[in-house]
Structure 1
Amino acid sequence: MLDDRDRKILSLLQADADMPVTEIAASVALSASACSRRITRLKEEGYIARTLVELDRRKVGLPTTVFVIVRTGSHAADWLEKFHAAVNAVPEIVEVHRLTGNFDYIIKIVLPDVEHYDVVYKQLVSRIELFDMSAYISMETVKQAKGVPTNYA
């Protein structure tokens, strides 16, 4: 069970995983060693799944985001396995979500430019048969959270 200090520690780490333990400790009114033990416990208990580095997409040449809505003609186990393999084989595909409703999947793709979408499209359709694909170019990121709310834990 998490307490308010644990939740605050998780929020601070989500905002900046490189924040020194001494700063985190000061923010939650703990000693550095007590705070360090809490962070270790949060990792051991699985609240902290992993630590990542967020790259500046413009500096690494991937400023463009395209979302693709997919409808499939099949939901058989072998097709699903093949679909999972296909999307995992394309590094520009950074997220895939299975949906309820009229569409089956939404795919988030990061690209150097819009024209490169055709390269990714051809890679994907050469690996898996899809009923329908519609691409939507992101014009602006209005909100991109640096983590998830911690008040539900």
Structure 2
Amino acid sequence: MDTVDRKILELLQADASLSIAEIAASVGLSQTPCWKRIQRLEGQGVIERRVALLNPEKLGLGLTVFVSIETNDHSEAWLARFAELVAAMPEVIELYRMAGDVDYMLRVIVPDMASYDAFYKRLIAAIPLKNVSSRFAMERVKSTTALPLDAVTA
């Protein structure tokens, strides 16, 4: 990956609706080589997909909850069942397996506290968990999907 690839990725992270002509002009390439680079980056899995980012508050999804989960079962079978269960819950927009005192961390977005309570009850009824802790975001100070491409080595 060279500096042109990184610049293409920066542009696409900022606005995936840019045309090939706009991207090519910004990085100093003609359209065909630019398109081939984007195709290569997609083929390599560097570009996973292109999406529209939505404003949760404007959609009435104003409550973000970070849910820490501890479990006594660390088997592959438990994890597979847990991952399948969580993947089927549209409120969960991120799931991470963690190192440290928490086993899993979820980012959950719901309209309000009543909706979170319903989600929580479904979660704890579906699979055995040792401990579930919820932290409620009061304000979104920074939110980005852009990766720090300056840290990527050639």
Q: TM-score scaled to structure 1, two decimals?
A: 0.92
Residue aligned with 2:95, SS: strand
1:85 paired with 2:84, answer yes
> What's the counterpart of residue 49 of structure 1?
48
Residue aligned with 1:82, SS: helix
What 5-or-longer segments of structure 2 have no aligned partner? none
> What's the counterpart of residue 139 of structure 1?
138
Q: What aligned pairs does 1:3-152 form with structure 2 within 5 A after superposition?
A: 3-151=2-150, 152=152
Residue 35 of structure 1 deviates from its aligned partner by 1.4
**Which letter does structure 2 place at the counterpart of 1:7?**
R
- More helix, by proportion: 2
Aligned partners of 1:90 and 1:123 also within 8 Å: no
Aligned partners of 1:93 and 1:110 also within 8 Å: yes
**Superimposed CA distance per residue, residues 29-63 of structure 1 (whole angstroms, 9 cap, x where no aligned partner):** 11122212221222122221111221221232212
Residue 68 of structure 1 deviates from its aligned partner by 0.7
Instruction: State the alpha-carbon separation in 2 of the partners of residues 12 and 137 from structure 1.
Output: 33
The size of the alignment, in residue pairs, is 152
What 5-or-longer segments of structure 1 have no aligned partner? none
- Percent identity for Structure 1 against Structure 2: 43
Instruction: State the alpha-carbon separation in 1 of the partners of residues 130 and 44 from structure 2.
Output: 42
Residue aligned with 2:50, SS: coil
**Superimposed CA distance per residue, residues 5-36 of structure 1 (whole angstroms, 9 cap, x where no aligned partner):** 11100111011100122221121111122212
Q: TM-score scaled to structure 2, two decimals?
A: 0.91
